[in-house]
Amino acid sequence: MEEISKEINSRRTFAIISHPDAGKTTLTEKLLLYGGAIHLAGSVKARKTQKHAVSDWMEIEKQRGISVTSSVLQFDYQGYRVNILDTPGHQDFSEDTYRTLMAADSAVMLIDVAKGVEEQTKKLFRVCKQRGIPIFTFVNKLDRFGRNPFELMEEIEKVLGIRAYPMNWPVGIDGNYKGVYNRKLAQVELFDKDSSHGQKAVASTAGRVEDPSFRALLGEDVHQALCDDIALLDMAGDEFDPDKVARGELTPMFFGSAMTNFGVQPFLEEFLRLAPPPKPRLSDQGLIDPHSDVFSAFVFKIQANMNPAHRDRIAFMRICSGKFARGMAVYHVQSKKQVKLGQPQQFLAQERAIVEEAYPGDIIGVFDPGIFGIGDTLCQPGHQFCFQDFPVFPPEQFARVQAKDTMKRKQFDKGMTQLTQEGAVQVFRQPGMLESYIIGAVGSLQFDVLQYRLKQEYGVDILMHHLPFGLARWLEGDNLNPKALKGIDNGMLLEDLKGRPLVLITNEWQLNWAVERNPGVEFRVAPSDARSVNLARREQA
């Protein structure tokens, strides 16, 4: 028990959330750089002769310079075991990000200093707020011209409804920043000029703000502006309250530049000190204490073909309680079967290492023979409980897909099955149309990724025809006969892969028309026996 407690208290498992292009993947890489996990950081927008971002392992990510899937990154730093969940910033992959947040104990909210709080940041912040997890803010890109720091603080408080406490403060005027002022240590840290463009850790010079040498280095105007800002913060700013941070009511705020390593190391060290260790997790049997001897975990992500040469399929699971040991047998609640977790792995993006043991807060990957699903619970034999439900987005865009070459039907079916199980798209069948699938997605970029991965990973070119529908509704009711429905002349009747009937409808007006004309039928955003939450619609409301 003492061993488990010590390991738990050293774990920090967090997700990084932001609007696209705020620098999230770059910050992730710089944390790895300072953690010693890598020695030369790649750039998402690197030249062809340079390395790509370590956390972007798919070819499509390297080509487009964006993250389209969550990645798991682990390293040790000053006695802490750090688990970073790097999430896709693009809104079309919100569902993957939402699921990943279920596995995190805290979140780092990344904000562009020039753009402030953007739309996708608002959505992801609300999910963190609903879960009550601590949120830390990193204001990025201070190497470029940006907005006034006081304006950004005010925007965070007004738009997101959370108070902000600056842990450090930028030194400079009008976006020409030379360093940061550490409020806790009451000292200025000036960064040396970096000729490596942020690829290596940067040396720095530290000293107290009243030091005459710093006044000379900064110049009179910059030095006076810093002194005025510090006085205003101390007089009118919030008090730092760790309890409010833990409840998600106060966000510690850091300033820096991930691209040039500006302020990254001080942020990492202070974040690890303040961020929470693994906490109890809600299940249908109440809270599951991470310090319990009973092993438990849940699957939050499934990824096919991480190693294209082996066509493998990895289930990522978050350990919630007890100690994991390689080769142990666990009870898979959904299938009601015991399974042996052989060859467990931990990851640095696509780099893998076999792990002998792991503890609550750790993320491990195990080979999935096709039995695991997102949200599944695994626990010690003799115990049976389910962790809380996972959010599932109802699809809002639809297309018909089929293989160009009918001779590749087997590869097409396999690819559609495996990629669907990752949760990126939903797949339906139209009765009598066996050669094609109807796919549903939250955003159009998911269609592009599906088409690309079918080609690259399964050797299948597809024909895709977009459909003019905006809603999917599962049909339930006594003596249900889908063919007898009224008011859906412009809709499309389908079945999901479990044979449950649903209808695609153009818009809310047509849906209301159909509901009125079919009083004995329920039009549901998800099957009643499926674990889902209509988060997308809730946010729009």
Domain at 349, CATH number: 2.40.30.10
Give me the pLDDT at residue 529, please. Answer: 61
Q: Is the pLDDT of residue 531 over 50?
A: no
Confidence of residue 186 (pLDDT cuts 50, 70, 90): confident
Within-domain flag for 494: yes
Who has greater pLDDT, 519 or 204? 519
**What percentage of the chain exceeds 90 in pLDDT?**
37
Within-domain flag for 79: no
Q: How far, in Å, CA of 192 to CA of 513, rounded?
A: 66
Q: Is 427 in the same domain as 491? A: yes
Worst-scoring range by mean pLDDT, 131-135, 526-530, 535-539? 535-539
Q: Is 185 in the same domain as 161? A: yes
* 521-534 mean pLDDT: 68
Q: Is 438 in the same domain as 511? A: yes
- The single residue listed with the structure tokens 């020409």 is 176
Give me the pLDDT at residue 532, please. Answer: 39
Within-domain flag for 390: no
Within-domain flag for 384: no
CA distances from 103 to 13, 96, 128, 374 (A): 8, 11, 11, 12
Worst-scoring range by mean pLDDT, 54-58, 73-77, 195-199? 54-58
Give me the pLDDT at residue 357, please. Answer: 92
Who has greater pLDDT, 66 or 464? 464
Who has greater pLDDT, 93 or 269? 269
Domain at 257, CATH number: 3.40.50.300
Worst-scoring range by mean pLDDT, 125-139, 168-182, 374-388? 168-182
Within-domain flag for 4: no
* 171-189 mean pLDDT: 81
* 211-226 mean pLDDT: 80
Q: Is the pLDDT of residue 332 over 90?
A: yes
Q: How far, in Å, CA of 138 to CA of 153, rounded?
A: 12
Confidence of residue 93 (pLDDT cuts 50, 70, 90): very low
* 448-459 mean pLDDT: 82
Q: How far, in Å, CA of 4 to CA of 98, rounded?
A: 28
Q: Is 219 in the same domain as 109? A: yes
Q: Which residue among 331, 349, 379 closes a domain?
A: 379
Worst-scoring range by mean pLDDT, 51-55, 173-177, 341-345? 51-55
* 40-50 mean pLDDT: 37
Q: Is 96 in the same domain as 167? A: yes
How many CB atoms are closer than 10 A to CB 240? 15
Q: Is 511 in the same domain as 487? A: yes
Q: Is the pLDDT of residue 184 over 80?
A: yes
Give me the pLDDT at residue 189, please. Answer: 78
Q: Which residue among 274, 290, 324 closes a domain?
A: 274
Q: Is 260 in the same domain as 152? A: yes
- φ/ψ (deg, to 5) at 391: -75, 140
pLDDT in tens, 277-295: 999 999 999 999 999 999 9
Total count of domains within the chain? 3
Confidence of residue 368 (pLDDT cuts 50, 70, 90): confident
Q: Is the pLDDT of residue 525 over 60?
A: yes
Q: Is the pLDDT of residue 4 over 70?
A: yes
Confidence of residue 516 (pLDDT cuts 50, 70, 90): very high
Sheet containing 501-505: which strands, arranged edge to edge? 462-467, 397-403, 437-441, 426-429, 492-496, 501-505, 471-476, 522-524
Q: Mean pLDDT in the chain?
A: 81
Q: Is 243 in the same domain as 108? A: yes
Give me the pLDDT at residue 194, please. Answer: 57
Half-sphere CA count of 463, side-chain side, radius 13 A: 10
Give me the pLDDT at residue 87, please. Answer: 65
Give me the pLDDT at residue 204, please. Answer: 53
Q: Which residue among 274, 306, 327 closes a domain?
A: 274
Q: Helix, strand, coil % (nearest 5) of the chain?
A: 30, 30, 40
Q: 335 has which bridge partners? A: none
Give me the pLDDT at residue 271, please. Answer: 96
Q: Is 365 in the same domain as 482? A: no
- The single residue listed with the structure tokens 């990724």 is 449
Q: Is 202 in the same domain as 92? A: yes
pTM of the model: 0.74
Domain at 502, CATH number: 3.30.70.3280
Who has greater pLDDT, 338 or 64? 338
* 232-246 mean pLDDT: 89
Who has greater pLDDT, 206 or 460? 460
Q: How far, in Å, CA of 9 to CA of 80, rounded?
A: 8
Q: Is 22 in the same domain as 155? A: yes
Q: Is the pLDDT of residue 201 over 60?
A: no
Within-domain flag for 80: no
* 264-287 mean pLDDT: 92
DSSP states along 265-293: HHHHHHHHHHS-----EEEBTEEE-TTSS
Within-domain flag for 388: no
* Nearest one of 263, 257, 265, 367 to 314, comparing CA atoms: 367
Give me the pLDDT at residue 431, please. Answer: 87
**What percentage of the chain exceeds 70 in pLDDT?**
81
Q: Is 300 in the same domain as 437? A: no
Q: Is the pLDDT of residue 19 over 60?
A: yes
pLDDT in tens, 164-179: 999 999 888 776 777 7
Enter the tokens of residue 1: 């028990």
Q: Is the pLDDT of residue 321 over 90?
A: yes
Confidence of residue 205 (pLDDT cuts 50, 70, 90): low
**Which residue spans within 71-162 are E strands per DSSP?**
71-77, 80-86, 106-112, 135-140
Within-domain flag for 8: no
Q: Is the pLDDT of residue 540 over 50?
A: no
Print the domain residue range for 440: 397-540
